[in-house]
A = this chain, B = another copy of it.
């Protein structure tokens, strides 16, 4: 069921990928997603080299299925991060926040599949040139760091699919079986979900952060950083109001960095300060109403996807 090229390339059962999420994407969550038949990803952005080793080991204790890591190319110790991940058993590397050319060849030579997250067609073409195996095309509805062009998933996926000859995974705005089938309809060969997996028992997010997702209205997220430091989607809160007010006053990138300071993402996601932290969250958070286990999330996505396809077939046969 729902077997695509992506499943063959990654050695997984369902083309459903855990978004690489700093702080939240730890071993319990990554292992649960892999064990359910998807691809679990450790969000290694905030991990030390030792933590990468220990988190990979923890995943391997919990599942014998393939898992991956998300590595931000801007980390100064990126080469060590790659070594640690591969030595500790990750078979997929998602390269983010940087040029896919830098490390794709090196990682592939060591037998790992490489995926790269892109917000537009031009970046997707750079990935193909770099030899990336799978492109994750992410729309502006996604939580966390988004592209300056602010292209939505609905508009982005078919344009990227038309432009490249490698499989495309859709990210942004997907949290259930309807979104999964919609993404496949647009030409994607799989989906990446972030916010839906934050609101699971297995995620390392603080209970207050999970609750905030369950309470979120459709318009509960906003973009900051649009003018200078890069668009980031998070829950509307005291911090986003401060940042947006500074932006309206014409704050420079440095002034915004100074205002925001360090550690805001951990403050929201693991310390639970939803008002003063950066509570990265996708727009589809407004649809998520129940905390579930990862295995239930998978069961429900797959069941709803089957129902959706039955319904669509019905429309096309009347």
Interface residues in chain A, defined as those with a beta carbon under 8 Å from any beta carbon in chain B: 1-4, 120-122, 139-141, 149-156, 158-159, 162, 172-174, 176, 178-179, 181-187, 217-219, 223, 227, 248-250, 282-284, 286-287, 305-306, 308-309, 311-313, 315-318
Contact = CB atoms under 8 A, between A and B. Distances in A.
A6 to B, nearest CB: 11
5 contacts: A3-B318, A122-B217, A139-B152, A185-B308, A185-B312
B158 A140 contact: no
Contact of A154 (B2, B149, B173, B227): B173
Nearest to A119: B219
A218 B179 contact: no
A305 to B, nearest CB: 7
Nearest to A183: B182
Given A2-B316, A249-B250, A305-B316, 12 more contacts: A1-B317, A121-B217, A122-B217, A122-B219, A139-B154, A141-B151, A151-B218, A152-B173, A178-B187, A182-B186, A309-B312, A313-B313
A154 B3 contact: no
Closest 7 interchain pairs by CB? A154-B173, A149-B219, A155-B283, A182-B182, A152-B152, A181-B185, A182-B185
**Most chain-B Cβ atoms within 10 A of its Cβ — which of A159, A219, A227?**
A219
Given A121-B217, A182-B154, A318 B1 contact: yes
Given A185-B308, A315-B184, A218 B156 contact: yes
B316 A309 contact: yes
Contact of A155 (B187, B286, B318): B286
Copies in the complex: 2
Contacts of A283: 151-152, 155
**Most chain-B Cβ atoms within 10 A of its Cβ — which of A159, A282, A283, A311?**
A283
Contacts of A311: 184
Nearest to A227: B248
A153 B151 contact: no
A218 B163 CA distance: 11
**Most chain-B Cβ atoms within 10 A of its Cβ — which of A154, A183, A217, A309?**
A154
Nearest to A316: B309
Contacts of A140: 152
A121 B219 CA distance: 9
B152 A179 contact: no
Contacts of A155: 141, 173, 218, 282-284, 286-287
Contacts of A139: 152, 154
Contacts of A2: 315-316, 318
A4 to B, nearest CB: 6
A149 B315 contact: no
Given A187-B178, A318-B1, A159 B313 contact: no
Nearest to A284: B155
Given A151-B219, A182-B186, A316-B309, A287 B1 contact: no
